[in-house]
Every structure is written in structure tokens, then in C-alpha cells.
Amino acid sequence: MSTAVAAPVLPTYARQDVTFVSGDGVWLVADTGDRYLDLVAGVAVVGLGHCHPAPRAAAQVQLGQLWHTSNLYWTEPMAELAARLSGRFGGAQAFFCNSGAEAVESAIKYARKATGRPGIVALEGSFHGRTMGALSATGQPAKREAFGPLVPGVTFARLNDVESLVAAARPDTGAILLEPVQGEGGVHPAKAEFVAAARTLADELGALLVLDEVQTGVGRTGTFFCFEQLDVRPDVVTLAKGLANGLPIGALLVADEAAGAFVPGDHASTFGGNPVACAAACAVVDEITDELLSNVRAREQQTRDSFPNARGRGLLLAIDVDGPAAEVVSSAFERGVLVCTAGERTIRLTPPLTITTGELDSGLAVLQEVLA
């Protein structure tokens, strides 16, 4: 048994029996010296590739200057990141935290405070995280089952079914919470008409439209925010995963027109806005250029050319397979390619956004071989 398997770690993950020691771009290197082409990228986190020089340099400079002050004071990286994200959003205020689930918790609290209404409409098949509020809004009963009682007030609608969305609304609905592409739940994109209907319904109810862009944000789907492709302006957006290319960070963004609900003391996070994570995130945001976004769209097309049944947006893609997806993951792993699952019969591809034509070609060729 390897040391990794013997480690005293709670078995919440079915980890592959491999220990990685270094990474460079799309490549990961194991302690055995074996190299793996990484089409997982830390589950849609390492968007610029492993150890990308820009966030690495920014984090290293910041490590030499200042690590932590608490939120009793201002720091430059936090203020600069807020300004960058506000610019990309077209006017928003930020709250920083450490993970996707924490960003979703912040969004739920924000919507309750802003509207005075506790109800949340979420979607079946969704995934918003493992903390109690985020879990309560996660539309996968198996993930919730053992952990009740959950946060009350959540009703579920079906993705891309406007009638069921309207039926799920209540007079006390304060938030409609959606992923623009359901990621963990199987990579199911929300249709623009559906998101537009959610916008209209939120306005009619006096509720906030909250888009969970933890997985879809920061260029993953071919635009900085996925909502840019859906022709909708949300009130609240959550970000995490790709924001600092692997350093822990989460963000709640509240559109300027929906701002004003939180006052000092309403919400907090000791490490939120950490200068090192924010410095890295500023560098990441600067790297999400038009050129990089067109690479995302071109590599999406390349994947679709190889797998016409691929679904998703940008480089958040899934392929349904005939047998257990876990077996495909293992076979690809044995051939030096990392992919992950999104459901029992679906594999998910979330490579670095920087992946080249050649690198992707070699990964897709292995997948073709495994699935043949």
C-alpha cells in the first residue's frame, strides 16, 4: 500500500492512488516520476495551467511583503481585485471568502437580508457546495440525505423548464439560484430563454437572481462570466475555483443596483481577501484576455470535432459513456491522461484554458482509444 493510501485522512474522497509532486502547464508529475496530461485542472481550478508564471510571481512578491492583516484594515491586493472584478461585471461590489461553498453561503445571506425573504428557488441536479446552506440548495437528494435537518425554505425546479420554475416560486422567495452550466451535476447548460425567464420571475417577485459561477466563471466557458453569453444581468454572482489558479479564494459579487444590503457586522470571513490569494487572483484576471478566451472556444470546437456528443460550454465539457465513467477515468489514468466524472455515466473535461491544439489532441486520442 502506498504512503498516500495509509495517510490518516477521513475517506471523504475516492482518491486515485497517486501522489503528485509538481506541475507545469497541462502536466502533472507523480512521485514515481510519471507524467500525466491533466484534463481535470484541479476540477476547473487551474485555468492558466500549473505554476503559471503570472500568478506565481504575484503571489511570491506578496509573500515577501504581507500575508494577512484581517479585514479590520484595507490591503491593496484586495481592493485591486474588487476593482478588476467590478470592471469585468460592469459595476459590482465584492465580498471575499475562501471557497465556492462559502461564496454561496454569502449569497444566500445577502439575498435574505436584501429582500427580507428567506425562500430560495434552486434547481434539481444542481451543485452549490457542502456547507449547510449550499447543501440545502443542492438539488441532489443523495448528497443531502444523511445531513438533515437542512436549511428550510428551498424549493426545486427543473432545469430549462420555465413552468416548473414558476411553480417553485413562493411569495417568500428571495433568491433564484442557478448555475449557468450545471457542472458537478452532469454538465447541463441552462438555455438563455430559461435564464431570461428566471430574470423576469425574480423581478416580478422582488427576488434576486443569483448565478453560481463558481465553476463557469473566470473564462472557463469562453467569456469571463458565463452570463455574458446568456444576455442577462444577474443581481449576484458567486466565483471561486479558477479565480486564483489554485490558491483558495471565493467571491460574492453584488451588482451595483442590488448593493447596499450588507452593513458592518452582517457577514465576515477571517481569511477573506487574503493578500496573497488576491494578488494571485489579480494576475489571473489580467491573463483572461480575448486571445485566451478565443483559445477556449477553439479548443471546445476541437473537442466537439472529436466527440460530436460532447455537451457543455467552452472548456467545461462532458461526454456520456456506455459503461461506468469511473472505469473510463481509470483507463485514461493508466495511459497517462487525467479526466474526472460528472455522474455515473459521464466524464467531465475541464483542462487548463491555456491548453494547446497538440496537447488537447493527444488527450483526446487517448480518450478515443479508451472509449473505442
Q: Does 96 bind ligand PLP (CB under 6 A)?
A: no
Q: Is the dihedral of CA 209, 215, 220, 224 positive or negative?
A: positive
**Minimum distance, C-beta of residue 41 to ligand PLP, in the bound complex (Å):** 13
Q: 92: part of which helix (H) or strand (E)?
A: strand 92-97
Site for ligand PLP in 26-45 (CB under 6 A): none
Q: Are 340 and 40 in contact (CB under 8 A)?
A: yes
**Minimum distance, C-beta of residue 195 to ligand PLP, in the bound complex (Å):** 15
Q: Does 184 bind ligand PLP (CB under 6 A)?
A: yes
Of these, 36, 110, 127, 194, which contacts ligand PLP (CB under 6 A)?
127
Q: Does 136 bind ligand PLP (CB under 6 A)?
A: no
Q: Does 183 bind ligand PLP (CB under 6 A)?
A: yes
Q: Which is nearer to ligand PLP, 84 or 128 (CB)?
A: 128
Of these, 39, 101, 284, 315, which contacts ligand PLP (CB under 6 A)?
101
The one-character DSSP state at 25 is: B
Residues in contact with ligand PLP, counted by CB under 6 A, come to a total of 14
Q: Which stretch binds ligand PLP (CB under 6 A): 31-39, 71-79, 211-219, 274-282?
A: 211-219
The one-character DSSP state at 190 is: P
Q: Which is nearer to ligand PLP, 122 or 197 (CB)?
A: 122
Residue 71 to residue 274: CA distance in whole angstroms? 9
Residue 271 to residue 235: CA distance in whole angstroms? 25
Tell me the chain's radius of gyration from C-alpha atoms. Answer: 20
Q: Which stretch binds ligand PLP (CB under 6 A): 10-18, 89-97, 207-215, 283-291?
A: 207-215
Q: Which is nearer to ligand PLP, 77 or 183 (CB)?
A: 183
Residue 124 to residue 141: CA distance in whole angstroms? 9
Residue 127 to residue 117: CA distance in whole angstroms? 22
Residue whose beta carbon is closest to ligand PLP: 100
Q: Are 85 and 251 in contact (CB under 8 A)?
A: yes
Q: Which stretch binds ligand PLP (CB under 6 A): 84-92, 176-184, 191-199, 319-327?
A: 176-184
The contacts of residue 40 (CB under 8 Å, 6+ apart) are 338, 339, 340, 348, 350, 351
Q: Does 188 bind ligand PLP (CB under 6 A)?
A: no
Q: Which is nearer to ligand PLP, 174 or 183 (CB)?
A: 183
Beta bridge partners of 23: 28
Q: Are 129 and 141 in contact (CB under 8 A)?
A: no
Of these, 23, 42, 119, 129, which contacts ligand PLP (CB under 6 A)?
129
Q: Which is nearer to ligand PLP, 213 or 235 (CB)?
A: 213
Of these, 25, 42, 49, 100, which contacts ligand PLP (CB under 6 A)?
100
Of these, 179, 235, 300, 359, which contacts ligand PLP (CB under 6 A)?
179
In the numeric block, which cell numbers belong to residue 149? Answer: 435537518
Q: Which is nearer to ligand PLP, 281 or 364 (CB)?
A: 281
Q: Which stretch binds ligand PLP (CB under 6 A): 27-35, 55-63, 127-135, 363-371?
A: 127-135
DSSP string, 244-301: GBTB--EEEEEEGGG-----TTS---TTTT-HHHHHHHHHHHHH--HHHHHHHHHHHH
Count of CB atoms within 10 A of residue 356's CB? 13
In the numeric block, which cell numbers belong to residue 329? Answer: 477515468
Site for ligand PLP in 212-241 (CB under 6 A): 212, 214-215, 240
**Minimum distance, C-beta of residue 178 to ligand PLP, in the bound complex (Å):** 10
Q: Which is nearer to ligand PLP, 179 or 287 (CB)?
A: 179
The contacts of residue 262 (CB under 8 Å, 6+ apart) are 95, 110, 113
Q: Which is nearer to ligand PLP, 179 or 300 (CB)?
A: 179
Q: Determine the 3-state secondary structure of 102 from DSSP.
A: helix
Interface contacts to ligand PLP, rule CB under 6 A = 99-101, 104, 127-129, 179, 183-184, 212, 214-215, 240
